[in-house]
Amino acid sequence: QSDRNEAARAILIANDRGGYTVPTAGLYPYQWNWDSAFASLGFAEFDISRAWQEIETLFSGQWDSGMVPHILFHKPDPGYFPGPDVWGCAGPIPSSGITQPPVALSFATRLLRADPEFGKDRFAALFSKMRAWGEWFLKWRRDEKGAIFVVHPWESGRDNAPDWDDAMSGIDPQDVGFYERRDTQHVDASMRPTKYDYDRYIWLVQRAKRLGWDDAAMAEDNPFRVADPTMHFILLRGMRDLLAAGEELGLDTDGLAGQIAELEAGAESLWNPGMGFYDSYNCNNGIWSNALTNASFLCWFAGLSSPHMETHLQRVLDAAPYGVPSLAPFDPRFDAKRYWRGPTWGMMNMMIGEGATEQGFALGEEVRKRTREVISKYGFVEYFDPMTGEAAGGKAFTWTAAVWLAWAG
């Protein structure tokens, strides 16, 4: 145990680039938004000041609109594609032009709880920035039914999940031009998204760049708008945490309770009545993904009681021994090693497991035990085959190490 804790700390320290942490050297050489939020929880276990710094550095890249980018390109690195020139964004720090699930809102609150005396000023300094990000989601990423949507699969963080298949099939990327992928130089191509997906990822970036990354212009005739449980549930949890901590510290929480109530109501539109679980849908045509994913189970993290989902969790845990798979193994689209179409992810397991435990479901602890087991056996890798436990994706991965320190270990 103490060796593993030591190894996990060593990964965080090795991936620290001075004020921010890369997810893993090589494959992801910049600061990623939600990876960084998890890194802060790992640092909080042994260096609380460094933990705060991780989130502060992330917010130093916040745009005037309130959006916090999904990648901050602090220092150029030719080993990654698409880099800052492809995005062509004009924020305070070179960045991508899309966001990522705002789990930092919740984790900043956790840093505060870990040491309230130490953290209260740092939390207060971030508070209005965090609220501005939350409000940006409500303004620019909320559909007619009140669900939070994404405008790019990378925005959700679940890059090649089946959730995007319908919207992706409506994109014709023939004018995307030549580009060279770098990800498959670091990790075996069978564990990564396909060329079909990549052409569309890049096409969506090119479209938004042409529109100058202007939220209003991008919203017009947007071919990719998919209501996403990842985004919706994590945002709802984040807003609840902001309200609770803001009230304790006497900060300006005006309007927050109302925004939370709107997100609670909006969550109902993510319930797929035909399948009987939380799901994503294409906002442009209403077509459901019919996909039971690990994001479906974030309902508890959002504070929704959803007892039905417990039965679904039991079913997927019966089918996959090594943690919550990113897609149910009984779905014909399941692909055990391909990124978000099957593998189990430690950080998703943490949000699912904690949320389930908060709701009083015994399965929460079961998810933790299985996550602990798979990491103990196969190491601090990016993700795991949920059927065999085998290591997959990048090695020495920040958020897997952080999840070990903060929860699984």
Q: Which two tokens stand for residue 2?
A: 């103490």
For residue 183, the minimal CB distance to ligand DGY (Å) is 5
Q: Which of 35, 45, 228, 382 is catalytic?
A: 382
Q: Which two tokens stand for residue 57?
A: 């550095």
For residue 36, the minimal CB distance to ligand DGY (Å) is 12
**Integer Cα distance of 258 and 108 in angstroms:** 21
Active site includes 248?
no
Of 242, 237, 40, the residue nearest 124 (C-alpha): 242
Judged by beta carbon, residue 159 or residue 166, the one nearer ligand DGY is 159
For residue 154, the minimal CB distance to ligand DGY (Å) is 4
Q: How many CA atoms lie within 13 A of 121 on its CB side?
A: 3
**Integer Cα distance of 351 and 101 in angstroms:** 12
Judged by beta carbon, residue 7 or residue 171, the one nearer ligand DGY is 171
Active site includes 366?
no
By Cβ distance, which residue is nearest to ligand DGY?
A: 154
Who contacts 315 (Cβ-Cβ below 8 Å, separation ≥6)?
328, 330
Residue type for position 233: F
Q: Which two tokens stand for residue 293?
A: 């994913």
Name the 3-class secondary structure at 150.
strand
Q: How many CA atoms lie within 13 A of 148 on its CB side?
A: 27
User: Quick check: 233 and 139 in contact, CB under 8 A?
Assistant: no
Q: Which helix (H) or strand (E) holds 169?
A: helix 165-169
Q: Which position has the token pair 């991508």?
A: 96
For residue 198, the minimal CB distance to ligand DGY (Å) is 9
Number of H helices, E strands in the chain: 17, 9
Please report, in angstroms and rounded to a whole number, the separation of the first and last CA atoms in the chain.
Answer: 8
**Integer Cα distance of 23 and 42 in angstroms:** 12
Q: Which helix (H) or strand (E) holds 72?
A: strand 71-72
Q: How many CA atoms lie within 13 A of 376 on its CB side?
A: 12
Judged by beta carbon, residue 16 or residue 159, the one nearer ligand DGY is 159
For residue 70, the minimal CB distance to ligand DGY (Å) is 6
Judged by beta carbon, residue 183 or residue 241, the one nearer ligand DGY is 183
For residue 300, the minimal CB distance to ligand DGY (Å) is 25
Binding site for ligand DGY (CB under 6 A): 70, 154, 159, 183
**Integer Cα distance of 238 and 83 in angstroms:** 29
Q: Which of 16, 159, 183, 331 is catalytic?
A: 159
Of 233, 207, 232, 231, the residue nearest 220 (C-alpha): 207
**Integer Cα distance of 266 and 270 in angstroms:** 8
Q: How many CA atoms lie within 13 A of 407 on its CB side?
A: 29
For residue 339, the minimal CB distance to ligand DGY (Å) is 8
For residue 268, the minimal CB distance to ligand DGY (Å) is 29
Cite the active site residues. 159, 382
